[in-house]
Amino acid sequence: MPTENYKFPADFVWGATTSSYQIEGAVSEDGKGEDIWDVFTKEDHRIFEHHTGETACDHYHRFKEDVKLMKEIGLHAYRFSINWARVLPDGVGEPNPEGVEFYHNLLHELHAHNIEPVVTMWHYDLPMALVNKYGGWGSRQIVDDFEYYARFILNEYKDEVKYWLTINEQSIVVNYIDRKNKLTNEQKFDPKFRYQANHYMNLAHARAAIAVHEIVPGGQCGAALDMAPYYPHTCDPKDILAAKNASNFKNYFYMDAYIRGEYTESVLAYLKRQGLMFDIQPGDMELIKKGSECFDFLGINYYQSACVKAPTPGAARRSKQNNKIGKGGHVVYEVQPDLFEGCKNEFIGDTDFSMPIDPVGLEYVLEDINDRYHIPVMICENGFGAYDKLEKDGSIHDPYRIEYIREHIKAMKAAIANGVKLLGYNPWSTFDLLSTSNGIAKRYGFVYVDRTDDDVKECKRYRKDSFYWYKNVIATNGKNLE
């Protein structure tokens, strides 16, 4: 039977995704503590043209209307994150009752509409209090404090949430350490810092995963990793070796820690050779191993694939940068000295923001993960960022988004046909929200939020064409993709 004729299992979960800072707004209301995004969006203008999440999509005040829209589209699940500093303004210690209540109210609303919550504990927005106290992920103390936070929210919401994701896109936080964190100067110029921070994240994740199993009846724990397959530029064995190196360095290094409870040996050897090795204390690897025994499913955020070749001798280390202006071109490719160098894949096109569009890559990563780890997977993000236009009659025509999601759903069918245990699909994003790189102008949602980067207007919600299309996909359990 051709793979396109395969069906999604009857219990397949169709959902959609957001994250707290990008959607909530109300950044200084009702006792919320400051988080790193509150600070660096203003100070260093980290988001294109100085945009902040002060209002975002005003979800904090409109969550009831938003949950009704989720119900209308037919979502089985909604993935969102808890803002750590909203519930624990100082990162640890005294909780903020109004913040705690906000998430109870949201969860109550979701359950009243029969929508399963999938909750991320930490999606980039670290409390500033912990950065001021000891430099955030730069100190081992964060492992205890993350566990404190995890245990607090698990005890608080254990009867309302079964699916927990500990950390969003750890590999992105590590690879873009200066863009996703508020760093001290010392941290900024310490090349080892990101790998030490990564080790602390693995310890923190392990403590939280153990806590999910201890506290939540029937709790399921995962983490959401950004995932791109790394293709060789040519069949020159040096390019093929570069692609293998990139897969180890960018993907397996993180998955091996979560799922197998160990570090990928070739990556450790490379870090040692480059003078970038981090400190591992006695007991750390035992904890990471124990955490892996509590890891039930892998969340993956899939947007794009990547292409690499043998590194140019002597090329300096740098990370990838897509264009921010939405006009194509302007990509700076990643270089890891003596390991691999990014380059353009001539076989696939890309978005106006230079993200390669590659549905086949989704099938590739899903099957690769299944063959290597035999673990259930939940797609936690996948989506198309574009400039959408609100027409005078309130319609928004986004055929490019429908096309993108349709092709990725076909890839999911093929992966299921090839044995992948796919739990669900949560495209990014439920509503338009603040892009971490491009502000509100780059939109991903099924629901259009009427505001611009300069004028928050009333944030009125409008249904896009993709809203009606996805509704029909869900209603037919992925059968009707037209």
Does 381 help bind ligand BGP (rule: CB under 6 A)?
yes
**Contact residue for ligand BGP among 436, 443, 451, 478 (CB under 6 A):** 436
Q: Is 315 left (phi over 0), alpha (psi -120 to 50) or beta?
A: beta
381 carries an active-site annotation:
yes
Least distance in Å: CB of 387 to ligand BGP? Answer: 12
Angle between the N-to-C axes of helices 284-292 and 193-215, in degrees from 0 to 180, rounded to the nearest 10:
50
Give the nearer residue to ligand BGP in terms of CB position, either 169 or 334: 169
Residue 179 or 213 with smaller CB distance to ligand BGP: 179
Where would I find the beta strands (DSSP E) of 169-291?
A: 220-226, 230-232
**Which residue's Cβ has the minimum distance to ligand BGP?**
435
C-beta separation of 33 from 96 below 8 A: yes
Single residue of 437, 453, 462, 463 touching ligand BGP by CB under 6 A: 437
- The count of residues interacting with ligand BGP (CB under 6 A) is 15
Cα torsion 334, 336, 341, 347: sign: negative
Asked if 364 and 229 touch (Cβ cutoff 8 Å), the reply is: yes
Nearer Cβ to ligand BGP (266/437): 437
Residue 434: CB minimum distance to ligand BGP, A: 7
- Rule CB under 6 A: say whether 172 interacts with ligand BGP: yes
Beta carbons within 8 Å of 463's beta carbon, 6+ residues apart: 69, 396, 446, 447, 448
CA distance 415 to 419: 7
Paired strand residues for 299? 224, 378
Site for ligand BGP in 300-329 (CB under 6 A): 301
Report the alpha-carbon distance of residue 123 to residue 21 in Å, rounded: 8
Q: Does 354 bind ligand BGP (CB under 6 A)?
A: no
Q: Which stretches of 305-443 are DSSP H helices?
A: 359-373, 399-417
C-beta of 89: minimal distance to ligand BGP in Å? 22
Q: Cα-Cα-Cα-Cα dihedral of 64, 65, 71, 75, to 10°?
A: -80
Q: In Å, how far are 126, 196, 272, 346 from 268, measured between CA atoms?
A: 27, 12, 6, 32
Residues 283-302 that bind ligand BGP (CB under 6 A): 301
CA distances from 90 to 34, 97, 187, 287, 480 (A): 9, 13, 22, 26, 48
By CB under 6 A, is residue 435 in contact with ligand BGP? yes
d(CA 80, CA 120): 6
Among positions 299, 385, 439, 445, the unique one binding ligand BGP when judged by CB under 6 A: 385
Q: Which residue has the tokens 């003078």?
A: 275
Decide if 286 is catalytic: no
Q: Identify the active-site residue in 24, 156, 169, 367.
A: 169
* Position 350 contacts ligand BGP (CB under 6 A): no
Check residue 79 for interaction with ligand BGP (CB under 6 A): no
Alpha helices, DSSP H only, in 335-398?
359-373
CB of 210 to ligand BGP, least distance (A): 24
Out of 20, 120, 168, 248, the residue judged to bind ligand BGP by CB under 6 A: 168
**Residue 438 lies near ligand BGP (rule: CB under 6 A):** yes
Q: Which CB atom, from 266 or from 321, has the smaller least distance to ligand BGP? A: 321
What whole-number distance in Å separates Cα of residue 333 and Cα of residue 238?
18
Instruction: Provide, rounded to whole angstroms, the least separation between the CB of residue 354 and ligand BGP.
Output: 11
Taking CB under 6 A as the criterion, the residue among 35, 38, 147, 169 binding ligand BGP is 169
Among 8, 14, 19, 427, binds ligand BGP (CB under 6 A): 19
Name which of residues 81 to 120 contact ligand BGP (CB under 6 A): none
- What are the residues binding ligand BGP (CB under 6 A)? 19, 22, 168-169, 172, 226, 301, 381, 385, 428, 435-438, 442
Enzyme catalytic residues: 169, 381
